């Protein structure tokens, strides 16, 4: 039973559209993360948050933005989608630094 | 810089056999945590096993065990009695508990295929 939920599971959209990928968790975790997973399956951290109103960019530069208005919710937005944004996006949360991550099922995004 | 290296992009094993996946890491920290995650095809990433660096005893979870060699900075995963459901990408990951360095750093993964 998943405690972290991502929607949609799959999304195909046209170039230039604005999209928001949703991520919610019910565990009360302060720390949340967004990873981009490339076709070779390598994981790249693109955003993270250590609490409400706290967001930081990750190791991989991304044109996406995030917000953290509520503890349980960490949406990712692309203002103008491009084919280069085609990828799988994984959301995760953790209780403390050093704790294991709980991952969502991912959103597979295709921009045509 | 802290890094995690998985030198085996792909591996295969016969059902019921044992397989070992390799992982090495580099850090100057003394206190840290190591993980193995499993990502089955088109399914959710799940935790397989967690090891705390200050614990000398190797972690074990049912058929999954690790060989943690702190001096060699090695953290291999052994899967005993392999099952078809073990077919997945396996990621080794590392973290400290210090600020942004507390974010998980992943290796590039090993694709494991269990053959009947």
**Average pLDDT for B35-57:** 93
The mean of the pLDDT values for chain B is 93
Q: Would you state the pLDDT for residue B1?
A: 73
Q: Which of B44, B50, B96 sits opposite A100 (nearest CB)?
A: B50
Contact of B72 with B79, CB cutoff 8 Å: no
- Give per-residue pLDDT as tens, A51-102: 999 999 988 888 899 999 999 999 999 999 999 999 999 999 998 878 899 9
For residue A73, give both structure tokens. 């919710």
Q: B interface mutation test: which of A6, A45, A98 has the most B CBs within 10 A? A: A98
Cα first-last separation, chain B: 41
> Cβ contact (<8 Å) for A41 and B109?
yes
A60 interface with B at CB cutoff 8 Å? no
Q: Would you state the pLDDT for residue A1?
A: 56
Provide the residue count of chain B.
Answer: 116
Percent of chain A with pLDDT over 90: 83
> Cβ contact (<8 Å) for B35 and A100?
yes
């Amino acid at each position: 039973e998943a405690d972290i939920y991502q929607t949609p599971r799959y999304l195909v959209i046209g170039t230039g559209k604005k999209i928001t990928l949703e991520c919610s968790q019910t565990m009360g975790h302060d720390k949340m993360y967004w990873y981009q997973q490339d076709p070779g399956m390598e994981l790249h951290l693109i955003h993270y948050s250590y609490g409400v109103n706290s967001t930081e960019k990750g190791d991989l530069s991304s044109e996406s933005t995030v917000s953290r208005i509520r503890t349980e919710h960490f949406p990712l937005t692309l203002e103008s989608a491009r084919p280069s944004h085609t990828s799988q996006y994984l959301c995760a949360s953790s209780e403390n630094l050093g704790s294991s991550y709980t991952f969502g099922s991912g959103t597979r995004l295709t921009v045509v | 810089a802290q890094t995690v290296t998985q030198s085996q992009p792909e591996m295969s094993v016969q059902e019921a056999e044992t397989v070992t996946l390799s992982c090495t890491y580099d850090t100057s920290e003394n206190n840290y945590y190591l993980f193995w995650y499993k990502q089955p095809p088109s399914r959710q990433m799940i935790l397989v096993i967690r090891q705390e660096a200050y614990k000398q005893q190797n972690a074990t979870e049912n058929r999954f065990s690790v060989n943690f060699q702190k001096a060699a900075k090695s953290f291999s995963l052994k899967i005993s009695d392999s099952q078809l459901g073990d077919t997945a990408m396996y990621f080794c990951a590392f973290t400290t508990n210090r600020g942004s360095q507390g974010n998980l750093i992943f290796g590039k993964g090993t694709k494991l295929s269990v053959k009947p």
